[in-house]
Structure 1
Amino acid sequence: MSDLTRLTAADLASALAAGDVSSAEATRAHLDRIAAVDGDVHAFLHVNAHAMDAATDIDRRRAAGEELGPLAGVPLAIKDVLVTTDMPSTSGSRILEGYMSPFDATVVARSRAAGLVPLGKTNMDEFAMGSSTEHSAYGPTRNPWDLDRIPGGSGGGSAAAVAAFEAPLALGSDTGGSIRQPAHVTGTVGVKPTYGGVSRYGAIALASSLDQVGPVTRTVLDAGLLHDVIGGHDHRDSTSLTDAWPSFAQAARDGARGDVLKGLRVGVISELDDSGFQPGVSASFRAALAMLEAQGAEIVEISAPHFEYGVAAYYLILPAEASSNLAKFDSVRFGMRSASGGTVEDVMAATRDAGFGDEVKRRIILGTYALSAGYYDAYYGSAQKVRTLIQRDFDAAFEKVDVIATPSAPTTAFRLGEQLGDPLQMYLNDVTTIPANLAGVPGISIPSGLAEEDGLPVGIQFLAPVREDARLYRVGAALETLLVDSWGAPLLDRAPALAASGSNEGNR
């Protein structure tokens, strides 16, 4: 493996700015890494044929003395839910196979403008529906820590690409935990920004009131650097906040000094007891809390009585919004067409039957039922009331604490196929992450260690009030510094080495 692929995005950016390495060299190193291992990992659905051209252009502009952004020349992986003009955008579905967008998603456009080099599009559960990336129409992604295990979902491709050193940075989307849960099981960092803090324009919609785009990285500082690039108001997104945001990279740098922990009030939810978590996950969480307490933080037990209903409410709200958002994929306006005879209804039915996978069909049916006459108030309306109660739980909690801490997921990465026959069990993987999406608050997952029973990574999640994303970067970076110092090296340095002889046959 080239040393360039081992560098954090911040370190690589510094080397690029100093002229110690060119963007072409860095991009080539990552493309070579993808060619070597992605046949095993299958993090990418499509590798960008123009990546080297983009890198060479950055080198030319730098040599000409042009003032470039802090991440100029650094390679970037892009979740396939984000549309791009130069690569297919399929959202992991057959119904959009080969679709080329006429425009870039705002976060992609901002990344290109900042000089980041798109490496390719990463695999995902179809239309972001899943917690394992096994629901991709193009085959599952595998966890670089153990190729027989899942990398989380729906953004397992982005997390696996970063964990396998195929990309230093990636873009993901988080509807109920699809950035943070993959971060938990792959030993990476994942951030769900405040709802409206990052534009959703050009993100293929799953549930519009829940979806949020965010960074996937190996360090908190790298996440802050990427968040600074993609964040901010976008007039094309009607839900975009007009706030002037602070530098999240600077917040991470401030946090790394460690003094932010003294007097910090960290809330622990009494309803989330250890019985619902794998022992190694609970042990790592408690150890991280003890480390915070040793640095002067105060651990405060809080109550969030309605969190236990979050999963049930989420799996009514999300399918309802998904059934509406996915109606456009009808063989007429968007998507493949699998039949040419009969009525429009016949063609539409045949196309959607062939183009959508089982999980997508399941959620469309559930959502359509929840919105139907006679059932709207009983199901969708009731779920929205629970959502309001969860938001009130957060409001009450943040009157007592500065951040809330939870395990990022209940277990380590499970084996491929282990939960495919049990949708309910799959849904419960997001039990700690879903409330943040229902309330719109920001969340971050950072690696907290390895579970003793299986040696696989686990993460700790911090949640903060709406618009207080910078607080998460300060706290996350402070704990990250303590943990890495205690380990002696970043957690990913302990990941089993992937075979260097992998093929690239899985790429499309």
Structure 2
Amino acid sequence: MTRVHAFTDDALDDLDAVGIVEHLQAGKISVTEVVEAAIARTERVADQLGAVAYRDYDRARREARDPRGGYFAGVPTMIKDNVHVAGMPTMEGTDAWTPYPAKKDGDFARMYLATGLIPLGKTRLSEYGFSASCEHPRLGPVRTPWNTDHTAGASSAGSAALVAAGAVPIAHANDGGGSIRIPASVNGLVGLKPTRGRLAQDAQMRQMPVRIVADGVVTRSVRDTAAFYREAERVYRPLQMPPIGDLTRPGRKRLRVALNTTGLARGADAEVTALTEQTARLLEDLGHTVIEADAPVAPSFSDDFLLYWGSLALAMLSGGRRLHGKTWIRANHDALTIGLARHARRNLHRLPTAILRLRRGAREAALFFDKYDVSLTPTLATPTPKLGHLDPTQDYDALVDRLLDWVAFTPLQNVTGTPAISLPLATTATGLPQGMMLGSGFGHEAVLLELGYELEQARPWARITG
């Protein structure tokens, strides 16, 4: 097993983002020192992990000399390569066209950077974010620093790998079927998919028929995630939901927790089921009530979600030449993207009904969370596979079957719009992190963060340097 990390005795030390802020404010370190340390760390692990899509170190150094305001002023970060950042290309995990720098920040990047974070560049994702493993046939895979024989998950693979390896303390991620929570689980991180509409989003995400994508971050501590949402809320405040506020400790309320290990259509394997039941017992030891419950989904959910997922691939391929010009090459796309588009084209007559059923998910979730405060499932149904298991060049039907076996829990909250958080509360027999996922009702991220604080204190998670 090859474990890779960049933690060392420099300005970053083993600090999380809040710790860096505290050291900067106390004058123990400077912004320039922090940024230079992050650049050096990123370069130390970049080739081994395959996590970096684009470097912009000159920009980071300029901003370090004159950082913008905000709580996170001077804290280094990376941005996933599917949102627009002025001066950086956006390639969305593919090499199907010639990139060009974005002329301006997208809505999300504008909000994200207003918190003071300094971007070093962009991170890699699976092509368009469609696969749960980033294993591009020409660009190569993104590897987890916990064991480089294994995938870093996806689609926010590069961001999670760099945060886990200690290159940066916090990085942008987004989630259309689990893409914050999946790599958080694989890489031993905290990953909160927020409520639909909680954060500012780029226009292409807002215009989806079912708004399944949510932006957020991956971090190494609950307090970093809580601090990010506090600061983001000061920049962008959605009035249709309760504020998250400044959360710094566990909540006092004892919760009704709905336990499920059977998934949406396929359940967790024996090892992951046992690890989830251990987490349930921990919650009971802490005074919460755990009740086994079925997931609030219709029997058609998995088929409907796959068809909708495929329709997004079809849109990408149908509009590629118009969006990217003569440099666009359809044949450069991986077999998963092409297979998903083919599946959608063959079943296009079923898409309107599938969308209608998916939209009903929000109502079903609301009824579910009238009964329970929180849901508990594993984030992923099996331990992290080795690279090659989800290779996108393999037969489409076999690949989709393997993906559905692994990603049997996360798509639900993308459809319902409700929040969910993956916490690295378990470790598999092979020594890899295994996330546990907690969900709650619309607008109730605060419940998840307070419970996250409590679980982090009760069962501190494994450290990659340990």
* TM-score, structure 2 normalization: 0.89
Aligned equivalent of 2:28: 20
Q: How far apart are residue 308 of structure 1 and its match? A: 5.5
* Structure whose CA Rg is larger: 1
Aligned equivalent of 2:278: 287
Give, as a single letter, the amino acid of the residue that structure 2 aligns with 1:335.
Answer: H
Structure 1 segment 105-254 matched on structure 2, within 5 A: 105-135=106-136, 138-201=139-202, 209-231=211-233, 241-243=238-240, 246-248=243-245, 250-251=246-247, 253-254=248-249
Q: Percentage identity across aligned positions?
A: 28
Alignment partner of 2:301 out of 290, 307, 310: 310
Change (3 A) 1:464 1:326: farther
Encode CA deviations 1:98-145: one digit per residue, 9 max, x unaligned: 221111122222232222110110010011110011137522110100
Contact 1:413 1:456 in 2 (8 A): yes
Change (3 A) 1:136 1:156: farther
Change (3 A) 1:23 1:365: same
Aligned equivalent of 1:480: 456
Question: Partners in 2 of 1:40 and 1:441 — Cα distance?
Answer: 36
Cα root mean square deviation, aligned? 2.5
5+ unaligned residues in a row in structure 2: which ranges? Answer: 1-7
Give, as a single letter, the amino acid of the residue that structure 1 aligns with 2:43.
Answer: A
Contact 1:310 1:390 in 2 (8 A): no
Structure 1 segment 70-469 matched on structure 2, within 5 A: 70-135=71-136, 138-201=139-202, 209-231=211-233, 241-243=238-240, 246-248=243-245, 250-251=246-247, 253-255=248-250, 259-260=251-252, 262-269=253-260, 271-272=262-263, 276-304=267-295, 306=297, 309-324=300-315, 326-330=317-321, 333-335=322-324, 337-338=326-327, 351-371=328-348, 376=349, 379-388=350-359, 390-420=361-391, 421=394, 422-423=398-399, 424-451=401-428, 453-469=429-445
Question: Partners in 1 of 2:464 and 2:196 — Cα distance?
Answer: 33
Change (3 A) 1:82 1:476: same
Question: Partners in 1 of 2:384 and 2:261 — Cα distance?
Answer: 25
Q: How many corresponding residue pairs?
A: 450
Contact 1:27 1:52 in 2 (8 A): yes
Q: How far apart are residue 305 of structure 1 and its match? A: 5.6
Question: Partners in 2 of 1:245 and 1:76 — Cα distance?
Answer: 28
Question: Partners in 2 of 1:205 and 1:90 — Cα distance?
Answer: 19
Question: Partners in 2 of 1:328 and 1:219 — Cα distance?
Answer: 40
Encode CA deviations 1:251-285: one digit per residue, 9 max, x unaligned: 2x132xxx53x521111137449993233322222
Question: Partners in 2 of 1:228 and 1:384 — Cα distance?
Answer: 33
Contact 1:306 1:386 in 2 (8 A): no
Alignment partner of 2:64 out of 55, 60, 64: 55
Change (3 A) 1:327 1:353: closer
Aligned equivalent of 1:506: none
Encode CA deviations 1:203-255: one digit per residue, 9 max, x unaligned: 67895621111111111111122223445887xxxxx953365345x22x132
Contact 2:264 2:409 in 1 (8 A): no
Question: Partners in 1 of 2:193 and 2:279 — Cα distance?
Answer: 21
Contact 1:144 1:186 in 2 (8 A): yes
Change (3 A) 1:404 1:244: closer
Contact 2:261 2:267 in 1 (8 A): no
Encode CA deviations 1:452-486: one digit per residue, 9 max, x unaligned: x21110011111111111111111121112111xx
Change (3 A) 1:18 1:403: same
Change (3 A) 1:202 1:209: closer
Aligned equivalent of 2:4: none
Encode CA deviations 1:27-81: one digit per residue, 9 max, x unaligned: 11111011111110111111213111111212xx7xxxxxx42211111111001
Q: How far apart are residue 301 of structure 1 and its match? A: 2.2
The more displaced of 202-211 and 97-106 is: 202-211
Q: How far apart are residue 320 of structure 1 and its match? A: 1.7
Give, as a single letter, the amino acid of the residue that structure 2 aligns with 1:33.
Answer: R
Give, as a single letter, the amino acid of the residue that structure 2 aligns with 1:54.
Answer: E
Give, as a single letter, the amino acid of the residue that structure 1 aligns with 2:409.
Answer: T
5+ unaligned residues in a row in structure 1: which ranges? Answer: 62-67, 235-239, 339-350, 485-489, 496-508
Question: Partners in 1 of 2:132 and 2:370 — Cα distance?
Answer: 32
Classify the secondary structure of the residue corresponding to 1:449: strand
Question: Partners in 2 of 1:110 and 1:82 — Cα distance?
Answer: 12
Aligned equivalent of 1:345: none
Classify the secondary structure of the residue corresponding to 1:37: helix
